Amino acid sequence: MKSRSIPASSKLFFIALLCLTLSGCMGSGGPPPMPDMTQLQVRQMQTREYSDVSKMEVIKAVLSALMDEGYAIRSTDKDLGVVTAAKEVYDLDSSTKFAAEFNQGAGSGTYQTTMRSEASTMIRERGKNIQVRISIVQKSVSNTGGNIWSQPVYDSKIYQTIFSKVGKAVFLEKEKI
């Protein structure tokens, strides 16, 4: 009985096809799913009020909390009550990198290398209280520096963590500690 051998080019094609199929399943390649939330629910998640404290004490508390979370402060405007900050985390999407380099050659193609979070904060007086609203946008940044995707953050735990630190920092500011 004679055995037939499969040509080498067919084997390589099959292996390449299998790798591309598997690499497409490995990475997320996109933003997290959007939640089903109303604009009011989003604002409630992003907003807290503090009493018996000055606007400047709250601005300092927000700065401290954002820095504790790893954000680099970009700008502040105490009169408007605006604070902007950003942090970047190296987050290589290796499956997309593999597919890009497989299709376009080593060192070529565009793939995610960094996750950037940008926080914009508005601090304003509301009667006797100081209201803080923090809005965070997360961006996927490519190896060439461009944005792959950008989306507001709707994870309430992230906001709870930051507001918990703001609350503690407000206490420390009030107590001059």
* Residues near 127 by beta carbon (within 8 Å), at least 6 away in sequence: none
Q: Is residue 104 part of a domain?
A: yes
Under DSSP, the state recorded for 160 is H
Q: What is the pLDDT of residue 68?
A: 95
Give the residue numbers spanning the domain of 129.
Answer: 44-174
Q: What is the pLDDT of residue 114?
A: 81
Domain count, the chain: 1
Q: Is residue 2 part of a domain?
A: no
pLDDT in tens, the chain (177 residues): 555 666 655 554 444 444 444 444 334 467 878 888 999 999 999 999 999 999 999 999 999 999 999 999 999 999 999 999 999 887 666 666 556 555 655 665 666 678 889 999 999 999 999 999 999 999 988 877 788 889 999 999 999 999 999 999 999 878 878
Q: Is residue 21 part of a domain?
A: no
Q: Is residue 11 part of a domain?
A: no
Q: Is residue 8 part of a domain?
A: no
Q: Is residue 131 part of a domain?
A: yes
Output the CA angle 28-42-45, nearest 5 degrees. Answer: 100
Burial string for 18-28 (b: 16+ CB within 10 Å, else e) reads eeeeebeeebe
